[in-house]
């Protein structure tokens, strides 16, 4: 094979799915060339066609996927004309894939060893002992401890992060020339994700595989790929070197996306979010000309709605940088959309002396019964300490965020406040009333309507069998029993207006006819149905697409200011937290690791956990450089068996043997409001450099890859 032949090439590829209502074009006229050693990132929001492209590259589109035009070549040979046998020989051997959800990608009934072995059995001529050797070597490469032991395990016996390493090892076993990665870290926690990303980068160098990485996260692509394709509604709208595209985004969609991402390195006032208006057009009803047209600030009639479509054209910045915009060349001269004014928030944290919500030394233990019989012999019950000595206060008009990864106990805390669970000890008072023993059933209407919640998953927050109008009216009537039916309906209409959804259009719709962002807005309006004074928002935007996220964040901000209520935001996303909150509490395994005003949390001194969380945030902004020397090793400990001493001691990069693993750390006060729970002296922590450094000169920025 001569070096000129690309490894993998998609030419004018169009893919449609046949549905009952006719074919839907998922990918339109897609071109891509992958040479040896290349790494291409495909980025886009859900429904843009990126996963379809990836599956097509394996010629695996399921029953109803059809390649309507174009072709795919692997080492110069058309994949589409290959026989089943030829495909089987290539799949898993020359091209392998790493999947989104490792738990479901592994067969629950076969041991990991068996699942790894068969790759070599079918794709190599290695002897069993050589195969064994190769497998163990690969497991070492993905940094799994005790490979021999892990091979005898079943997938459910190991953690999510380990499962993902197995999936990666499985893909690497046959030393493939092309590696396809389908959002390989989406199901994982931030710190685990960071470890996997570093691993992928180092393996890329070691094995010299070419790779195609798809993700919705621009920051991850920046950390892993040299080249970038931005997709929107089935089209590649911008392609080029990753650094070129990110430093000179030339398509209004790319520009918009980058402006939607909250930055953990900036004050919100320096870098306000500007959401993209509107939403992705449905695949059977795309606009004429530029698909992004209706959402674009620069839309020009007669030019952007050209019925022949808009071609992918060279940008003025770099010969390999293309953009599918009719106004590419004049874009720089055009007036940018007005940046929304940064939300000016009076930092009200110290105005009131009395907190609205005050949590004192809350503990919550769950007793997990193994079975009916072991409950008879009570000694066998296991205890999970979901919340361990948590204290925090929320003042009127303040936004407090609780940050932590899965299993840190943040959701339990929300349940305790809302009265869905009772604390094992400690007290919660709201508006000077002790509510810790009041379950939600015994709370009166006024207390209930003052304490509401916004849920994480837009698909679960609304009842699928009731119209959204009914659901909002029901909440209004529940919180304001004095209102007549007519007035309640009026108020519900107002709530729809408040979250910018037209009640005339949406009131009678079932949730399934709403997009994710719209459902989330309805969920938010429901929480505000009774003029609440505290709203708990559990990961309010984590399930939404980037462009929708920012508008929902804006909405939350606006409502909080207008209604003058307090927000308690629960999130794993530090960028969001920095953007949204006044005060931050960092939790790990049921313990508070650090708490303080938002500015103090994002600058040294850090608790080592906060430091690691910050270092793990993927950054798309090329003007920011990030320290990359901090990685939390290993996995979250089992909640049944937390480490003695400091909860972080099993993973901490600043671990002190003989101290951290034996003695619980003290809580050290840095100021009245900022405290860190750690053994390391404050002065040492203070001397740490900041995680992010801003480099105002964007053009000669330094890459921050490992």
Partner 1 sequence: MSAPTSSLTKLFRILKDIASSPFGFLGLFLTLFWIFVAIFAPLLAPFSPTELIQPLVKPLSYTKNGQLLILGSDHIGRDVLSRIIHGTRPVLFWSIFATFPAYFIGSSLGLAAGYYKKSTDTILSFIANLILSFPVLVLYLIIIVYLGPSGSNIVVAITFASSPAIFRIVRALTLDIAGRDFINAAQIRGESSLYILFIEILPNAKGPLIVDFCLRVGYTAITIGVLGFLGLGLPPPSPDWGSMINSGRPFALFMPHMVIFPCIAISSFVLGLNLLADEINHINSRI
Partner 2 sequence: MLLFLSKRLGLLLLTVLATSFIVFAVLELDVDTVAVKVLGGYSTQEQRALWLEENGYNRLFITRYAEWLSNFVQGDFGYSTRFKRPVGDFFWNYLGMTAILAGITMAIVVPLALTFGILSGMKETSLLDRVLSFICIISTSVPEFASVILFSFIFVFTLGILPGTSSMIQGFSWKELVLPVLVLVVYDFGYIARITRASMVEVMHTSYVRTAILKGMPFKRVVTVHALRNALIAPVTAIFLQFPWLLSGVVVVEIAFAYKGIGHLLLEGALYHDISLIEMCTVVAVIVVVLTQLIADIICMFLNPRIRFS
Q: Under a CB-based contact definition with an 8 Å cutoff, are residues 605 and 670 in contact? A: yes
Query: Looking at beta carbons only, is 119 or 197 nearer to partner 2?
Result: 119
Say whether residue 460 binds partner 1 (CB under 8 A).
yes
- Residues 98, 100, 103, 105: is their CA dihedral positive or negative? negative
Query: Looking at beta carbons only, is 467 or 701 nearer to partner 1?
Result: 467
Q: Which of 15, 16, 90, 660 binds partner 2 (CB under 8 A)?
A: 90
Q: Which of 66, 368, 466, 682 binds partner 1 (CB under 8 A)?
A: 466
Say whether residue 123 binds partner 2 (CB under 8 A).
yes
Q: Which of 69, 374, 425, 463 binds partner 2 (CB under 8 A)?
A: 374
Q: Under a CB-based contact definition with an 8 Å cutoff, are residues 156 and 213 in contact? A: no
Strands (E), 176-234: 178-182, 210-215, 227-232
Please report, as residue ranges, which positions from 159 to 178 form the binding site for partner 2 (by CB under 8 A): 167, 170
Q: How many CB atoms lie within 10 A of CB 669?
A: 12
Q: What is the DSSP string of 15-43?
A: EEEEETTEEEEEEEEEEEEE-TT-EEEEE
Say whether residue 220 binds partner 2 (CB under 8 A).
no
454 backbone dihedrals φ, ψ, rounded to 5°: -115, 135
Say whether residue 357 binds partner 1 (CB under 8 A).
no
Q: Which of 163, 239, 279, 456 binds partner 1 (CB under 8 A)?
A: 456
417 backbone dihedrals φ, ψ, rounded to 5°: -65, -40
Q: Which of 104, 445, 564, 684 binds partner 2 (CB under 8 A)?
A: 104
Element (H or E) spanning 548, and its range?
A: helix 546-563
Find the shortest distance in angstroms from Cβ 462 to partner 1: 6
Find the shortest distance in angstroms from Cβ 421 to partner 1: 11
Query: Looking at beta carbons only, is 93 or 323 nearer to partner 2?
Result: 93
CA separation for the pair 448, 455 (Å, rounded):
16
CA separation for the pair 220, 237 (Å, rounded):
19
Q: Which of 110, 303, 343, 483 binds partner 2 (CB under 8 A)?
A: 110
Binding segment for partner 2 (CB under 8 A), chosen from 102-110, 340-348, 503-511, 576-584, is 102-110
Query: Looking at beta carbons only, is 374 or 459 nearer to partner 2?
Result: 374
Residue 99 interacts, among partner 1, partner 2, none and using kind-specific CB cut-offs from 5 to 8 Å, with partner 2
Strands 39-43 and 227-232: parallel
Burial of 349: CB neighbours in 10 Å, binned 0-12, 13-18, 19+: buried
Q: Which of 108, 464, 658, 696 binds partner 1 (CB under 8 A)?
A: 464
CA nearest 631: which of 604, 648, 611? 611
Q: Which of 79, 136, 384, 475 binds partner 1 (CB under 8 A)?
A: 475
Say whether residue 486 binds partner 1 (CB under 8 A).
no
Q: Which of 71, 101, 226, 628 binds partner 2 (CB under 8 A)?
A: 101
Find the shortest distance in angstroms from Cβ 161 to partner 2: 18
Residue 479 interacts, among partner 2, partner 1, none and using kind-specific CB cut-offs from 5 to 8 Å, with partner 1
Q: Under a CB-based contact definition with an 8 Å cutoff, are residues 639 and 589 in contact? A: yes
Please report, as residue ranges, which positions from 401 to 420 form the binding site for partner 1 (by CB under 8 A): 418-420
Query: Looking at beta carbons only, is 242 or 566 nearer to partner 1?
Result: 566
Full strand arrangement of the beta sheet holding 566-571: 451-454, 534-538, 566-571, 399-403, 583-588, 591-597, 675-677, 667-669
Find the shortest distance in angstroms from Cβ 370 to partner 1: 15
> Hey, which residues does 499 pair with through a beta bridge?
none
> Hey, which residues does 85 pair with through a beta bridge?
none
Size of the site for partner 1 (CB under 8 A): 30
CA nearest 584: which of 676, 648, 508, 521? 676
Q: Under a CB-based contact definition with an 8 Å cutoff, are residues 587 and 405 in contact? A: no
Binding footprint of partner 2 on the chain (CB under 8 A): 58, 60, 63, 84, 87-93, 96-97, 99, 101, 104-110, 118-119, 122-123, 154, 156-157, 167, 170, 370-374
Binding footprint of partner 1 on the chain (CB under 8 A): 372, 418-420, 440-441, 443, 445, 448-449, 451-453, 455-457, 460-466, 475, 478-479, 508, 512, 523, 526
């Amino acid at each position: 094979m001569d070096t000129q032949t690309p490894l993998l090439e998609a030419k004018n590829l169009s893919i449609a799915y046949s549905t009952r209502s006719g074919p839907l074009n998922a990918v339109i006229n897609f071109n891509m060339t992958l040479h040896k050693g290349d790494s291409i990132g495909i980025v886009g929001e859900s429904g843009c066609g990126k996963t379809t492209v990836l599956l097509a590259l394996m010629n695996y589109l399921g029953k109803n996927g059809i390649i309507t035009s174009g072709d795919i070549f692997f080492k110069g040979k058309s994949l589409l004309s290959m026989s089943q046998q030829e495909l089987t020989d290539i799949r898993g051997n020359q091209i392998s894939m790493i999947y989104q959800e490792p738990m479901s990608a592994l067969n629950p009934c076969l041991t990991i060893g068996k699942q790894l072995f068969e790759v070599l059995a079918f794709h190599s001529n290695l002897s069993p002992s050589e195969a064994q050797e190769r497998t163990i070597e690969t497991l070492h490469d993905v940094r799994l401890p005790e490979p021999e032991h892990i091979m005898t395990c079943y997938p459910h016996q190991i953690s999510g992060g380990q499962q993902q390493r197995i999936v990666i090892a499985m893909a690497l076993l046959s030393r493939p020339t092309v590696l396809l990665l389908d959002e390989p870290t989406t199901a994982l926690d931030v710190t685990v994700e960071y470890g996997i990303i570093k691993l992928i980068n180092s393996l890329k160098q070691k094995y010299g595989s070419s790779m195609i990485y798809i993700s919705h996260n621009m920051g991850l692509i920046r950390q892993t790929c040299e080249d970038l394709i931005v997709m929107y509604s089935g089209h590649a709208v911008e392609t080029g070197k990753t650094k070129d595209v990110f430093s000179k985004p030339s398509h209004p969609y790319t520009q918009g996306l980058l402006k939607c991402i909250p930055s953990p390195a900036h004050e919100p006032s320096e870098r306000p979010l500007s959401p993209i208006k509107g939403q992705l057009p449905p695949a059977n009803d795309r606009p004429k000309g530029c698909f992004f047209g209706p959402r674009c600030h620069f839309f020009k009639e007669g030019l952007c709605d050209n019925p022949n479509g808009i071609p992918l054209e060279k940008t003025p910045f770099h010969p390999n940088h293309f953009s599918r915009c009719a106004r590419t060349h004049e874009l720089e001269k055009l007036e940018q959309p007005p940046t929304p004014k940064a939300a000016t928030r009076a930092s009200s944290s110290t105005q009131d002396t009395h907190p609205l919500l005050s949590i004192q030394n809350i503990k919550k233990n769950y007793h997990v019964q193994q079975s009916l019989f072991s409950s008879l012999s009570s000694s066998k019950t296991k205890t999970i300490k979901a919340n361990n000595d948590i204290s925090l206060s929320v003042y009127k008009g303040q936004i407090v965020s609780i940050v932590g990864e899965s299993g840190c106990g943040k959701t339990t805390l929300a349940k305790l406040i809302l009265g869905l669970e009772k604390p094992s000890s400690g007290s919660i008072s709201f508006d000077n009333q002790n509510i810790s023993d009041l379950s939600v059933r015994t709370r009166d209407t006024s207390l209930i309507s003052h304490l509401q919640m916004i849920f994480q998953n837009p698909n679960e927050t609304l009842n699928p069998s009731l119209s959204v109008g009914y659901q909002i009216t029901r909440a209004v009537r529940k919180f304001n029993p004095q209102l007549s039916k007519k007035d309640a309906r009026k108020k519900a209409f107002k709530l729809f207006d408040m979250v910018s959804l037209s009640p005339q259009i949406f009131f009678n719709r079932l949730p399934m006819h709403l997009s994710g962002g719209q459902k989330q807005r309805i969920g938010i309006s429901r929480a505000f149905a009774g003029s609440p004074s505290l709203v708990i928002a559990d990961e309010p935007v984590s399930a939404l697409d980037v462009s929708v996220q920012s508008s929902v964040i804006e909405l939350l901000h606006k409502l909080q200011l207008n209604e003058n209520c307090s927000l308690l935001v629960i999130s794993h996303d530090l960028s969001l937290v920095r953007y949204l909150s006044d005060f931050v509490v960092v939790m790990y395994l049921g313990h508070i690791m650090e708490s303080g005003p938002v500015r103090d949390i994002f600058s040294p001194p850090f608790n080592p956990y906060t430091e690691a969380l910050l270092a793990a945030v993927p950054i798309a902004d090329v003007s920011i450089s990030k320290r990359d020397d901090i990685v939390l090793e290993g996995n979250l400990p089992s909640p049944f068996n937390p480490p003695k001493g400091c909860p972080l001691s099993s993973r901490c990069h600043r671990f002190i043997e003989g101290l951290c693993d034996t003695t619980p750390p003290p809580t050290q006060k840095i100021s009245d409001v900022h405290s860190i729970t750690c053994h390391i002296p404050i002065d040492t922590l203070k001397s740490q450099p900041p995680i992010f450094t801003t480099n105002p000169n964007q053009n000669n920025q330094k890459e921050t890859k490992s």
